[in-house]
């Protein structure tokens, strides 16, 4: 069941239930999209109607970040208590795909990262057939011919699962704009997962993620790139506290869009 969450939809679903559903979807060759929502993606969706629309195309939408659990509590959404991070989910999907001897396409990462991720997957999940990797050019989402070229490359490989890892909101907009062109497969917009698999970016310790401090770990590793993002996210969290406590009309307006 999906719940309205400041203009986006979030699923009340466990990781175990999700994986069972993925197994069925892959067997039935359905086209699905999984989006994982953290504070930054919520901020982008909150301020941009186009991003919200693209995000809400997701077949499955999970909470990826402790701050969203706080917001769910402020919104009195008692069912939304489960954090399912995109990177953890990606690993679970690899395990599932390994059992099925399925086909995977990796889209994203800097030059050479997707290839390195493929090597790691081949070592750890030998039954997965990584049928393709692609490192999209910077600004690819603004080049229609390039977008179609990438989609043709993905489609030609006939994947069961596609990891789309070029960051929010460009990934969601790319998929939404060209939805009808994509072949049937299970698509996942899961951020830096390809980088994590390749080992080019290290994940925060689990104890930091559990208490909502993953952002601090990542900030120490890439201060110059991430400072502005986390500064904006911090102020956004404060703003949402005030909105959820003192501006119910704004909350209702955003959620009303979902039923219109």
pLDDT at residue number 215: 73
pTM: 0.92
Q: What is the pLDDT of residue 168?
A: 86
Phi and psi at residue 109, to the nearest 5° = 85, 165
Q: What is the pLDDT of residue 176?
A: 94
pLDDT given at position 259: 67
Classify residue 199 by burial, with Cβ atoms within 10 Å: 0-12, 13-18, 19+.
Answer: exposed
Please state, as a whole number, how many other Cβ atoms lie within 10 Å of the Cβ of residue 253: 11
Residues in contact with 156: Cβ distance below 8 Å, sequence separation at least 6, in sequence order:
132
The token pair that represents 149 in the structure block: 């070229």
Tokens at 91, concatenated: 């690993």
Q: Residue 218's CB: how many other CB atoms inside 10 A?
A: 20
Cβ contact 117:194 at 8 Å: yes
Question: Does residue 152 contact residue 109 with C-beta atoms inside 8 Å?
Answer: no
In tens digits, the chain (260 residues) has pLDDT values of 788 999 999 999 999 999 999 999 999 999 999 999 999 999 999 999 999 999 999 999 999 988 999 999 999 998 888 889 888 899 999 999 999 999 999 999 888 899 999 999 999 999 999 999 999 998 899 999 999 999 999 999 999 999 999 988 899 999 999 999 999 999 999 888 898 898 877 777 777 777 777 777 777 777 777 788 889 999 999 999 999 998 888 888 887 777 66
């Amino acid at each position: 069941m999906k719940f309205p969450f400041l203009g986006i939809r979030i699923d009340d679903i466990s990781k175990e239930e999700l994986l069972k559903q993925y197994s069925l979807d892959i067997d039935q060759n359905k086209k699905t999209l999984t989006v994982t929502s953290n504070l930054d993606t919520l901020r982008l969706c909150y301020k941009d109607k186009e991003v919200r629309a693209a995000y809400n195309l997701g077949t499955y939408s999970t909470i990826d970040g402790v701050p969203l659990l706080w917001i769910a509590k402020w919104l009195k959404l008692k069912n939304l208590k489960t954090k399912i991070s995109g990177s953890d989910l990606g690993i679970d999907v690899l395990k599932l795909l390994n059992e099925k001897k399925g086909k995977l396409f990796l889209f994203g990462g800097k030059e050479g990262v997707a290839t390195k991720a493929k090597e790691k997957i081949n070592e750890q999940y030998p039954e997965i057939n990584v049928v393709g990797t692609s490192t999209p050019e910077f600004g690819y989402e603004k080049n229609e011919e390039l977008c179609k070229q990438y989609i043709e490359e993905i489609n030609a490989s006939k994947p069961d699962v596609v990891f789309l890892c070029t960051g929010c909101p460009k990934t969601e907009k790319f998929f939404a704009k060209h939805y009808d062109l994509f072949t049937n497969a299970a698509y996942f917009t899961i951020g830096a997962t390809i980088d994590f698999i390749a080992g080019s970016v290290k994940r925060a310790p689990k104890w930091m993620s559990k208490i909502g401090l993953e952002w601090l770990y990542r900030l120490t590793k890439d201060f110059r790139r991430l400072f502005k993002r986390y500064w904006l996210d911090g102020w956004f969290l404060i703003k949402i506290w005030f909105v959820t406590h003192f501006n119910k009309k704004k909350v209702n307006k955003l959620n009303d869009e979902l039923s219109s």
